[in-house]
Amino acid sequence: MEQTVEDYKLIFEKEGVYLHTNAKRSNQDTTIPGFIRIVERAGVPALEWSPLEDEGRSAPAVLYTKKDGEGGEDDTNFDPGYEPDWAVISTVKKDREHVPVKDSGQWSFSLPLSELYSLRRARFSLGRNFLVLTSRGGHPLPALHFHRGGTRELFRALQRYIILDQSPVEGRLFLAYPHDSGALSQSFDKLHLFDDGGSDLVSRFIQDPYATTFGGFSKVTNFFRAALRPPGSPTHLRTAQDRSLPPQSDEEPGFELINCGVELGPRPDVTRGEPLDKWEEFLDPEGQVKNPERIKELIFRGGVIPSLRKEVWKFLLGFYPWNSTFKEREDILRAKTDEYFRMKVQWKSVSEEQEMRNSLLRGYRSLIERDVSRTDRHNTFFSGNDNPGLTLLHDVLMTYCMYNFDLGYVQGMSDLLSPLLFVTQNEVESFWCLTGFMELVHQNFEESQEAMKQQLLQLSILLKALDPELCDFLDSQDSGSLCFCFRWLLIWFKREFSFEDILIMWEVLWTRLPCDNFHLLIACSILKSQRGELIGSDHDFNTILKHINELTMKLDLQTVLQGAEAIYLQLTACKEIPMKVQQVLGLYTPSSSEEDSPDSQASETQRLLSQSQAGAAASSNSACGPTYP
């Protein structure tokens, strides 16, 4: 950098600081080596990173400036020539007079220390540190990976200009203040640590070669990179634990990873049981089920044998009440059959001319016909052309549009119906079982996707409590939103396991034991099983997504279910389980005043960092398995 002495002064410099870009172009490196520097330009201190290839340039290609409306220059014609995976600027300037910008140089940045809001430092067991910084404008910079150490020295140099104050609720998060700031004397509530600026939780769409493998679920499967990651969210960051300086140097092997203040006990051993193979003995002379909770527990432990599924599933999915008699069930079946065919006649009687003037119904029919032709065609019940099973699949889905016209048909619903139709072998029964199933998951298919965003958030809360190191790694690779789990949660792992395994998994989940969100614990179990592969390999965002997608049909169901239940027992046995985790597990229900409070409407940062410790009910860890309420 050629600057006059008056304009430029180098304060600190460290080589071997890498930027992981997750670049999508074949001619771009995904890991770029460079320098991190603290410099003074005309007396203004700034933190800068530039790649090795840019040495000799007069200034970085991209500079931070004031937010819109706060003054400062901006160049509306500036086009960096790429779309970064992170929002780096609010307005930009360029300096290209002397040296043309190289591809790698486009990742350079310069951040005035007065604009530094927070930083986080973490270290994996692999021995590499990384830092992520966030500006006061709410923009997280990409993770800076210190392959050769140096974060402690950088902290020390930064303290020449700013105060780094440890967050009271997150040991690895540091807030930055100028030395003359009075902010430190304010209460924690006035620091605005949790302000999200009203940003939308889903701020950017992602175009990615592997996103198409998640299926074409219109309305609901738009793939988001930044889901649950609002600008300004400190959860983008990972830092050290000391209030002013990291206690150990980067080269010390004894760095202790903070576990969010929660020490989990050992994970108990869990055994699966035999499937439910007796039904009549649970019925009294009138046909009422004598002990439905015991039946649910047996199903949770081992599923149901195939010959009983047709009958038992109708109870699990609410077609028959558990306390109904033989006579009452006959009446229910008769009434439900009449109601079904009344709705079926509604769409069957629509003429072609009428349908031409009903674009909504025409659109539903088109989607259904397309999806039916490709749903579970490997299964003999749906294979071949002119298969009556395909006709039933089509008719039930069209009738559901009449039953719930507001929701209608959304791609993915055919995946939910096909196992029901396969088991019941009956059009009417499969329809009413589908309505019961949709009562549990209909919000997954709503266009707003609020339920899906909420579930991804809850999954991140659980995973952070279970394995903060894995969360750190995923964050560093821009995968902390867990958006690669979207399809898992949308259709309850339908495409991840074999058809027979899904029959078992779903009947386990329909028991709602040990909690309503057991499907999230199943997702945690899968992610934990892949921990070594994810952290132990040189993965980036694309390869993480590819690896997760390639798990299809390779997972052992019983192992996954054992792991999920063991995770539940491990968490509930912890006496200091965070309140947010309690809420996900159904162990704590906030009062109406808490639900209406501003905190309940907060961003992911608020949800993850405002965890307070509260007692939780302990659960038995016996080998035969606990009894769930």
- pLDDT value for 107: 78
Whether 20 shows a pLDDT value over 50: the answer reads yes
**pLDDT tens digit string along 216-236?**
333 333 333 333 333 344 433
- pLDDT value for 254: 33
**pLDDT tens digit string along 456-490?**
999 999 999 999 999 988 988 888 889 999 999 99
- pLDDT value for 5: 55
- pLDDT value for 8: 82
Instruction: State the Cα angle at 359 between 354 and 363, rounded to 5°.
Output: 115
CA pair distance 366, 381, nearest whole angstrom:
22
Helix 427-441 with 326-348: angle, nearest 10 deg: 90
Quick one: pLDDT band at residue 123, thresholds 50, 70, 90?
A: low
**pLDDT tens digit string along 38-47?**
999 888 999 9
Decide if 228 contacts 460 (C-beta within 8 A). yes
CA pair distance 621, 170, nearest whole angstrom:
31
Q: Provide the percentage of residues in the chain whose pLDDT is more than 90.
A: 47
Whether 600 shows a pLDDT value over 80: the answer reads no
Decide if 462 contacts 262 (C-beta within 8 A). no
**pLDDT tens digit string along 538-580?**
788 889 999 999 999 999 999 999 999 999 999 999 988 899 9
- pLDDT value for 486: 95
User: In this predicted structure, which of 157-171, 230-244, 404-418 has the lowest mean pLDDT?
Assistant: 230-244
- pLDDT value for 278: 94
**pLDDT tens digit string along 293-344?**
999 999 999 999 999 999 999 999 999 999 999 999 999 999 999 999 999 9
Whether 247 shows a pLDDT value over 50: the answer reads no
- pLDDT value for 450: 92
CA pair distance 546, 566, nearest whole angstrom:
27
What kind and span of H or E run contains 464? helix 450-466
**pLDDT tens digit string along 408-453?**
999 999 999 999 999 999 999 999 999 999 999 999 999 889 999 9
From residue 391, give the alpha-carbon distance in Å to each of 296, 370, 388.
Answer: 33, 13, 5
Quick one: pLDDT band at residue 290, thresholds 50, 70, 90?
A: very high
User: In this predicted structure, which of 58-62, 378-382, 488-492, 517-521 has the lowest mean pLDDT?
Assistant: 58-62
**pLDDT tens digit string along 57-95?**
443 333 333 333 334 333 333 232 323 322 222 223 333
Decide if 561 contacts 522 (C-beta within 8 A). yes
Whether 535 shows a pLDDT value over 60: the answer reads yes
**pLDDT tens digit string along 173-182?**
788 888 764 4
Average pLDDT, the chain: 75
User: Which residues have CB under 8 Å from 572's CB, separation 6+?
Assistant: 585, 587, 616, 617, 618, 619
Whether 502 shows a pLDDT value over 50: the answer reads yes
Decide if 492 contacts 463 (C-beta within 8 A). no
Residue type present at position 304: V
- Domains in the chain and their CATH numbers? 1-53+106-180 (2.30.29.230), 304-439 (1.10.8.270), 450-585 (1.10.472.80)
CA pair distance 524, 528, nearest whole angstrom:
6
- pLDDT value for 380: 92
Instruction: State the Cα angle at 272 between 568 and 616, rounded to 5°.
Output: 20
More confident residue, 621 or 276: 276
Whether 280 shows a pLDDT value over 80: the answer reads yes
From residue 551, give the alpha-carbon distance in Å to each of 223, 451, 455, 502, 565.
Answer: 19, 25, 21, 15, 21
* Residue 160 burial (CB count, 10 A): 12
Whether 287 shows a pLDDT value over 90: the answer reads yes
User: In this predicted structure, which of 101-115, 384-398, 516-530 has the lowest mean pLDDT?
Assistant: 101-115
Beta-sheet pairing, 44-51 with 109-112:
antiparallel
Decide if 372 contacts 397 (C-beta within 8 A). yes
- pLDDT value for 33: 87
Whether 207 shows a pLDDT value over 60: the answer reads no
Residue type present at position 264: L
pTM: 0.62
- pLDDT value for 209: 33
Whether 149 shows a pLDDT value over 60: the answer reads yes
Q: Provide the percentage of residues in the chain whose pLDDT is more than 70.
A: 67
Whether 364 shows a pLDDT value over 80: the answer reads yes
- pLDDT value for 18: 85
Phi and psi angles of residue 115, each rounded to the nearest 5 degrees, phi first: -95, 0
Quick one: pLDDT band at residue 238, thresholds 50, 70, 90?
A: very low
- pLDDT value for 169: 61
- pLDDT value for 592: 52
